[in-house]
Amino acid sequence: MEPSEHGPDRDDAQHHEPSPTLYPLGFAVGIAVILVGLVIDPLVIGSIGFVIALVFAFLWIRDATRLHREERVAVEAERREAAAKGVPVKGERFPRSRFLESMTVGLGAVIGGIVTVPVAGFALLPSFLGQGRHKVDLGPLSEFPEGQWIVATFMTDPAAGEVSRRTAFIRNNGQLGNVPSFTIISNRCAHLGCPVQPNGPIGKTSFEPTANGRVRLIQATPAGFGCPCHGGQYDTEGNRTAGPPVRALDRYSFEIDNGRLVLLSAFSVSHVDGTGAQAKIHKYKLAGPGQHVDGGEQWFYPIQPPHH
Amino acid sequence: MAATRKQPTKAQIRRRNLEVALEYPLDWLDERSGLVGGVKYFLFRKVPADTNWMQTLGSATLTAFIVQAVTGVILAMYYRPTPQSAYPSIVNITDHLTLGWLVRGMHKWGASVFIILMFLHMGRVFLFGAYKYPRELNWIVGVLLLATGMAEGFTGYLLPWDQTAYWASVVGINLNGTAPFLGPWLAQFLRSGQEISGDTLSRFYSLHMLVLPGAIAGLIALHLYLVIRLGVTSPPWSPEAAGRERPEEPSDLRQGLTQPAAHGTGGQS
């Protein structure tokens, strides 16, 4: 560059030339370490990367804003204020035009607010309020022989129709003390919500008329469950055995009403120790697919939206 | 016809009268709105002498968007966004209505063309260095256009309401749900509740045909305004400095400004 020849243009060019700095590189290295850490060891290497990125981000921001912070004492502001006020009319402390301006803007804002608030509320709130879940009647207990896996397909809301059709894998574990025990696993994959399938032969299909319309019951002999979308694999307790899911399959709570099996709300499970009636289920509030419920990553999802 | 003032022939008078009659509507409009001048200002701008075919990618993207808008409006005349009739109405459009297969095909394949062109245009801007001062803001507007364009693709994918549409949307919404902190809330908003339902379909339809196209149209207006205000960049190999108007007769001073290559510097000042 020969800036001296450029005359009046020189200042312009210099103002917009970013000062060379290595901090962005350090920041990028930090991010790279985080990404590597996520694969290898999120807690140790990930934290190291986070610290590196944080330090260099701080240095970078400090470096980038140095000019602004130092040259804050410009006289510009004072001159501008004087110019904006214009020539003060004698005897007029608060000009009429200023009053009309602020009234126009102020009233406009009030009218806009009155219109916007209820409309925005209508856009947002119905997704979160009044999310009732319906109980689902799956038929008499005699349809669920002890030790037999049943793939039950049912509508959670018959009024909504086919779009509310869901599937659960059900096994009668017999009695635990005096209380009937059931393993009821949701087929919603804990990766991204695709429908998990039983890995194994299926047997005879029957249809059971219930209060929730026709429930389809298919006998199955699964060695585990597998997801067709991205290959997540689970054992028969719903524990993840392979693939991308972040936790075990969700489960349903249930009740026995007049000798009929009734599904209640669903809950999330990090993992299950043991099997069948003796299983120890590590139970959490229902979370969306792909969301961790335990470990360090659970802090990414501190507040779940209202659930049924 | 300047040298000798001859009496105009009858043919010339007739011709002039015809021109006045033909231009009358335009003159009428321009006198009341100034629009003709505005359109001329918009279309007949000065551009660097060595613009490149790559610099037509932005216009191509705009054309793709207009195709999507027009075909989308017509498809909306036949499509029904309810769980019971969405898929049957798509079948009706494709198999029974005259030329429906063509317009739906244009909309479906045009969606991919739109996205691909956006990326090519973005690549051109990046490789030409056209995002640099003073055009950073236009890059940011372009990124917003890319995001809204991809959201169009996402919301449009659910509308056929077949198995692919349903499960792709399940996965896509749950992907949004895995974003930290607000992800679960975003997913539930997109889904309009706990589970995908008829409400999700109408919500995506509304976003797809009202909210997002409106946003894209507004952003395109801003994008074009900035292009016109800041001018078109020269290619990086251009001897002219980027963004500077080419002088008619370069003076000594201007020569120093517009041909920095002669002084051994790059195209950017």
- Tracing tokens 């990766």 back to the chain, one arrives at A191
User: Do B187 and A288 count as a contact with CB atoms less than 8 A apart?
Assistant: yes
A124 to chain B, minimum CA–CA distance in Å? 7
In a domain, B202, yes or no: yes
Residues of chain A positioned with their CB less than 8 A from the CB of B202 = none
Kindly state whether B129 is in contact with chain A, defined as any CB-CB distance less than 8 angstroms. no
pLDDT tens digits for B46-75? Answer: 888 888 899 999 999 999 999 999 999 999
Residues of chain A positioned with their CB less than 8 A from the CB of B189 = 124, 127-128
Pairing of strands A197-198, A149-155: unpaired
In a domain, B127, yes or no: yes
Residue B252 pLDDT more than 80? no
DSSP string covering A253-295:
EEEEETTEEEEEEEEEEEEEES-GGG-EEEEE----TT--SSS
3-state SS, B227-267, equals HHHHCCCCCCCCCCCCCCCCCCCCCHHHHHHHCHHHHCCCC
In a domain, B182, yes or no: yes
Kindly state whether B269 is in contact with chain A, defined as any CB-CB distance less than 8 angstroms. yes
Residues in B 60-99 with any Cβ partner in A closer than 8 A: 83-84
Q: Closest Cα partner for B56 from B242, B235, B237, B221?
A: B235
pLDDT at res. B77: 97
In a domain, B1, yes or no: no
pLDDT confidence tier of residue B262, bands split at 50, 70 and 90: very low
**pLDDT < 70 positions in chain A:** 1-19, 70-92, 308
In a domain, B8, yes or no: no
pLDDT at res. A42: 82
Contact indicator for B125, B131 with CB cutoff of 8 Å: yes
In a domain, B63, yes or no: yes
Q: Which two tokens stand for residue A79?
A: 């001159």
Choose the mutation target among B133, B135, B163, B171 for the interface with A, i.e. most A CBs under 10 Å: B171
User: Do A160 and B194 count as a contact with CB atoms less than 8 A apart?
Assistant: no
Q: Closest Cα partner for B148 from B222, B60, B64, B208?
A: B208
pLDDT at res. B264: 42
User: Do B170 and A16 count as a contact with CB atoms less than 8 A apart?
Assistant: no
Nearest to B189 among A127, A163, A195 (CB): A127
pLDDT at res. A212: 83
Residue B111 pLDDT more than 90? yes
pLDDT at res. B220: 97
pLDDT tens digits for B230-248? Answer: 988 888 888 765 545 555 5
In chain A, which residue's Cα lies nearest the Cα of B199?
A: A127
Average pLDDT, chain B: 88
A128 to chain B, minimum CA–CA distance in Å? 6
pLDDT at res. A159: 85
In chain B, which residue's Cα lies nearest the Cα of A287?
A: B184
Kindly state whether B50 is in contact with chain A, defined as any CB-CB distance less than 8 angstroms. no
Q: Which residues are bridge partners to A140 per DSSP?
A: A260
Q: Which residues are bridge partners to A136 per DSSP?
A: A263
Higher pLDDT, A247 or B1: A247
Choose the mutation target among B174, B182, B200 for the interface with A, i.e. most A CBs under 10 Å: B174
Average of per-residue pLDDT across B169-189: 95
What is the DSSP secondary structure assignment for residue A74, as one 8-state letter? -
Domain of B92, CATH number, reads 1.20.810.10
Choose the mutation target among A127, A246, A291, A307 for the interface with B, i.e. most B CBs under 10 Å: A127
User: Do B184 and A302 count as a contact with CB atoms less than 8 A apart?
Assistant: no
Kindly state whether B181 is in contact with chain A, defined as any CB-CB distance less than 8 angstroms. yes
Parent domain of B163: 54-232
Contact indicator for A220, A226 with CB cutoff of 8 Å: no
In a domain, B47, yes or no: no
pLDDT at res. A38: 87
Kindly state whether B25 is in contact with chain A, defined as any CB-CB distance less than 8 angstroms. no
User: Do A229 and B167 count as a contact with CB atoms less than 8 A apart?
Assistant: yes
pLDDT confidence tier of residue B171, bands split at 50, 70 and 90: very high
Give the integer Cα–Cα distance in Å for A147 and A239: 19
Q: b or e along B38-67 (b: 16 or more beta carbons within 10 Å of the residue's beta carbon)? A: eeeeeeeeeebeeeeeebebbeebbebbeb
Nearest to B184 among A194, A229, A291 (CB): A291
In a domain, B263, yes or no: no
Give the integer Cα–Cα distance in Å for A124 and B188: 10
Q: Which residues are bridge partners to A195 per DSSP?
A: A188
pLDDT confidence tier of residue B254, bands split at 50, 70 and 90: very low
Q: Which two tokens stand for residue B247?
A: 């002088």
| Domains in chain B, number | 1
Residue A77, number of CB atoms within 10 A of its CB:
10
pLDDT at res. B269: 38
Give the integer Cα–Cα distance in Å for B48 and B18: 37
Average of per-residue pLDDT across B20-46: 90
The pTM for the full model equals 0.76
